């Protein structure tokens, strides 16, 4: 070797010094893509490599990345549709690549998500997931990131845990947009209900905070209630809405930046209380009919095609990013009413 240090190579490749040692001195096997990253970084820094080392470098750009996803199951609103869009986009952008691997976990299966992260890391170069901002999940993300696997948060970001980036809508703008509409709708006295899938979804937390903040700034006098949880499920949305209806006769609006809106719509239709405005996020099955019949007043709808395209593009370009680079990718959302369907 030349005088290029292992520390410098490790920093350039985005791996640990021990990994560099294993690659250059053949002490133990490492994943192929990680080995190629180390050798490419060493060559760029002027390190003299053996012929055996050099032969491995040209294959890096040609090797299809192994991409995996951890999503909520199909019964959680749009995740089956998202999975299909991700699969299609990967085929379009990496036609010679392997099929993506999917794991599907319920919202509160924290242990299972952490376990899937560690298992997928053994056979993946990139993992993108939807999960709660839970300490156990963050710990798993940190562990697999230190192995050289790039991990991206979808829709809902995590507290810092060495993940590679976040891909989703601007939830602050979404919350304030919903509140702007609420400002123009709230003419009668009453209260405003708030529904969240779970308090550990940072995207929903940001939307709620921004919604409340805008209403305070605007001097809205209607009382905004403490949020109830839908658990991202249709049944959870139904039960939470029933609770709001039964305990608040003066309910005039519901803001729901979460999943489970199918259940919210069902409960509102059953109640017959047409005076209640529903501002929600989407898409969801039957959303256009719910907008047309007035059950939903305003929907901030994720564009799943744009989301899938952004996710796959970010994943496939991750090998060219420095280890400490954090990708912040904002995708658009649509403002949908019955009049612009």
- Percentage, residues of the chain above pLDDT 90: 74
Does residue 341 lie in a domain region?
Answer: no
Do 145 and 200 fall into the same domain? Answer: no
Do 141 and 233 fall into the same domain? Answer: no
Asked whether the predicted pLDDT for residue 14 surpasses 80, the reply is no
Q: What is the pLDDT of residues 141-191, one digit of tens each?
A: 999 999 999 999 999 999 999 999 999 999 999 999 999 999 999 999 999
For the CA atoms of 298, 303, 304, 306, the dihedral, rounded to the nearest 10 degrees, stands at: -170
Q: Which domain holds residue 208?
A: 171-302
Mean local confidence (pLDDT), 103-114: 96
Mean local confidence (pLDDT), 111-120: 98
Per the CB < 8 A criterion, the answer to whether 47 and 14 are in contact is no
Mean local confidence (pLDDT), 281-293: 96
Mean local confidence (pLDDT), 56-74: 75
Do 86 and 162 fall into the same domain? Answer: yes
User: Which residue among 59, 89, 104 closes a domain?
Assistant: 59
Identify the pLDDT of residue 62: 54
Does residue 96 lie in a domain region?
Answer: yes
Does residue 11 lie in a domain region?
Answer: yes
Mean pLDDT of the chain: 90
Per the CB < 8 A criterion, the answer to whether 279 and 255 are in contact is yes
Do 295 and 324 fall into the same domain? Answer: no
Asked whether the bond before 283 is cis by omega within 30 degrees of 0, the reply is yes
Identify the pLDDT of residue 103: 97
CA 231 to CA 76: how far, in whole Å?
Answer: 9
Do 184 and 262 fall into the same domain? Answer: yes
Give the ranges where the chain is alpha helix by DSSP (H).
Answer: 6-13, 17-24, 32-44, 51-56, 79-93, 110-121, 135-145, 171-185, 202-217, 234-247, 261-271, 287-292, 304-316
Phi-psi domain of 65 (left: phi exceeds 0; alpha: psi -120 through 50; beta: other): beta
Does residue 338 lie in a domain region?
Answer: no
The CATH number for 15's domain is: 1.10.260
Q: What is the pLDDT of residues 87-100, one digit of tens each?
A: 999 988 876 667 89
Phi-psi domain of 299 (left: phi exceeds 0; alpha: psi -120 through 50; beta: other): beta
Residue in 170, 210, 194 with CA at minimum distance from that of residue 256: 194
CA 91 to CA 87: how far, in whole Å?
Answer: 6
Q: Quote the number of domains for the chain.
A: 3
Give the ranges where 69-134 is alpha helix by DSSP (H).
Answer: 79-93, 110-121
Does residue 48 lie in a domain region?
Answer: yes
Phi-psi domain of 127 (left: phi exceeds 0; alpha: psi -120 through 50; beta: other): beta
Do 296 and 309 fall into the same domain? Answer: no
Do 265 and 295 fall into the same domain? Answer: yes
Do 294 and 215 fall into the same domain? Answer: yes
Do 72 and 124 fall into the same domain? Answer: yes
Does residue 339 lie in a domain region?
Answer: no
Asked whether the predicted pLDDT for residue 140 surpasses 70, the reply is yes
The CATH number for 212's domain is: 3.40.50.2300
Do 162 and 253 fall into the same domain? Answer: no
Mean local confidence (pLDDT), 121-149: 96
Does residue 183 lie in a domain region?
Answer: yes
Do 259 and 152 fall into the same domain? Answer: no
Confidence of residue 50 (pLDDT cuts 50, 70, 90): low
Do 142 and 259 fall into the same domain? Answer: no
């Amino acid at each position: 070797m030349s005088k290029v240090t292992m520390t410098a190579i490790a920093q350039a490749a985005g791996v640990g010094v021990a990994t560099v040692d294993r690659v250059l001195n053949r002490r133990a096997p490492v994943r192929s893509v990680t080995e190629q990253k180390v050798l490419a970084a060493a060559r760029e820094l002027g390190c003299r490599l053996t012929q055996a080392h050099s032969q491995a470098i040209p294959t890096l750009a040609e090797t299809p990345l192994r991409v995996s996803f951890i999503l909520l199951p199909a019964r959680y609103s749009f995740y089956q549709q998202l999975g299909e869009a991700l699969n299609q986009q990967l085929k379009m952008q990496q036609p010679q690549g392997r099929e993506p691997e999917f794991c599907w976990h319920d919202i509160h299966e924290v242990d299972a998500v952490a376990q899937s992260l560690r298992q997928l890391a053994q056979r993946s170069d990139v993992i993108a997931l939807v999960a709660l901002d839970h300490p156990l999940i963050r710990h798993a993300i940190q562990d697999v990131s230190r192995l050289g696997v790039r991990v991206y948060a979808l829709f809902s970001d995590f507290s810092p845990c060495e993940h590679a980036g976040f891909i989703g809508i601007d939830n602050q703008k979404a919350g304030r947009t919903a509140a702007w509409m609420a400002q123009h709708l709230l003419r009668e006295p009453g209260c405003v209900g708030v529904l969240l899938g779970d308090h550990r979804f940072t995207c929903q937390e940001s939307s709620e905070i921004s919604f409340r903040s805008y209403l305070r700034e605007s001097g809205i006098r209607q009382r905004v209630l403490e949020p109830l949880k839908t658990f991202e499920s249709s049944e959870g949305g139904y039960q939470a809405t029933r609770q709001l209806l039964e305990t608040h006769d003066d309910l005039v609006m519901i803001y729901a930046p979460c999943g489970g809106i199918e259940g919210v719509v069902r409960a509102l239709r059953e109640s017959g209380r047409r005076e209640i405005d529903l501002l929600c996020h989407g898409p969801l099955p039957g959303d256009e009919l719910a907008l047309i019949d007035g059950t939903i007043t305003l929907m901030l709808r994720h564009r799943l095609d744009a989301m899938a395209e952004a996710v796959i593009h970010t994943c496939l370009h991750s090998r060219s990013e420095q280890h400490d680079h954090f990708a912040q990718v904002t995708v658009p959302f649509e403002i949908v009413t019955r009049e612009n369907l």
